[in-house]
A and B are shown apart, each in its own frame.
Chain A
Amino acid sequence: MTPFAYHRPATVAEAVLLRWREPASAFLAGGQTLIGTLTAGGAHPSALIDVARIPDLAGIRDEGGRLVVGAAATHATIARDAGSLPGLAALARVIGDLQIRNMGTLGGSLANNDPAGEHAAAALGLGADIRTDRRTLPADSFFTGPFRTALDPDELVVAIAYPRPRRAGYAKMRDPASGYPVVGVFAAETADGPRVAVIGAGPRPFRLPAFERALAAGFGPDALAGLTVSAQGLRDSLHASAQYRAHLIAVLARRAVAAAK
């Protein structure tokens, strides 16, 4: 590991200033992605700015029709305490493994935007807002490409505001070795109509407009019978072909709708 400096700022403003002053630095949250990358020599930041203990990034609270989850909330905390928002706790409960869930955070997962990162499914599937130190970004325009987001380099994710759906569910096909999803689908019946979001299958998370239209007629797995997805543009890898991923999307969409509570 290349040596780096370590800062643990107490506030959002201090964290962003440190990051801005040192362009080669990086934010550190749970470290469950970043530290492995450092050990493997895949990144050489001049400094790490640890945001995991900043009070504004902690906790889960109710804000009228929305559940607001701090960016530093761990997957384990969300699995335990976000039960009032259908689908989200169920999704957090199946991320990676026990140890990863105890350290890994919501904000780190969204900012990293691994194409198989699971929190993107709920953020996009519920139409959440990503609140940063300087603005609010809708999930629909947040995920711009593999490992790329609409965040500025020195922009800090502070919290995610999820509108409460009527019901929502999540289904994944787990890679048995890594725990990551081969494909994951989040389906929600929201105040603005049905939303279906897919992760693991494309270069970035995406929605399925044809499935959403079908669900508008009646939110149940039967509404999706016979609907298929084209393999065009889907990920093709050692773990799963594009055709298999296309097949999984349709199967998991029905399972996510059936699991919706």
Chain B
Amino acid sequence: MRIALDINGRSIEAEVEAATLLVAFLREHMGLTGTHVGCDSGQCGACTIHLDGRAVKACLVLAVQADGRRVTTIEGVAAPDGALHPLQEAFRDHHALQCGFCTPGMVMTGLDLAETLETPDEWAIRAGLSGTLCRCTGYTPIVEAIADAVAARRERKA
């Protein structure tokens, strides 16, 4: 089937099998390997991307379901000149990654939380991360980095 979608601000047209998962399309057809595959069954959140601006697990979405829609992957988060997004800066400042396997999914989940949470409440952030697993950090620095981003957004709005 022919699909047309926006990926990280670029218009893409491609021919895909209906049974192609969005995560496979992104990694194997588009070469966007920043989106990781941990479990392939919707449990770990490593494959989290944005569909029309909201975090979803790309292993539970078919590429054909993204037809006509807007996809953002970790490769589309930093500015075109390479300047990091403030949430990426916050991850670096707080040492919110060790092996880095979960990090693309963590950043994409954190960006959704940074947009939707009213306050940088620790427990709201922890609940928001319940579908995105990290085996290294113990979460504390990740929660702190996202709290910074939520607070920064509130300041921008105030």
Chain A interface (Cβ within 8 Å of chain B)? 1-6, 8, 28, 31-32, 35-36, 38-40, 48, 50, 52, 76, 96-100, 102-103, 178-179
Number of A-B contacts (CB under 8 A): 83
User: What is the total number of residues of chain B having a CB less than 8 Å from a CB of chain A?
Assistant: 31
A-B contacts, 20 listed (Cβ < 8 Å): A3-B19, A6-B1, A6-B18, A6-B62, A28-B65, A31-B61, A35-B21, A36-B60, A39-B40, A40-B41, A48-B62, A50-B65, A98-B109, A98-B112, A98-B130, A99-B45, A99-B56, A99-B57, A102-B55, A103-B57
The residue of chain B having its C-beta at the shortest distance from the C-beta of A174 within the complex is B130
Chain B interface (Cβ within 8 Å of chain A)? 1, 17-19, 21, 40-43, 45, 48, 51, 54-57, 59-62, 64-65, 67, 109, 112-113, 128-132
The residue of chain B having its C-beta at the shortest distance from the C-beta of A5 within the complex is B18
Known: A39-B41, A40-B41. A32 touches B60 (CB 8 A): yes
- What residues of chain B lie closer than 8 Å to A31, measured between beta carbons? 60-62, 65
Least Cβ distance of B158 to chain A in Å? Answer: 22
The residue of chain A having its C-beta at the shortest distance from the C-beta of B16 within the complex is A6
Q: Are B130 and A97 in contact (CB under 8 A)?
A: yes
Q: Are A38 and B19 in contact (CB under 8 A)?
A: yes
Least Cβ distance of A66 to chain B in Å? Answer: 28
- What residues of chain A lie closer than 8 Å to B65, measured between beta carbons? 28, 31, 50, 52
- What residues of chain B lie closer than 8 Å to A5, measured between beta carbons? 18
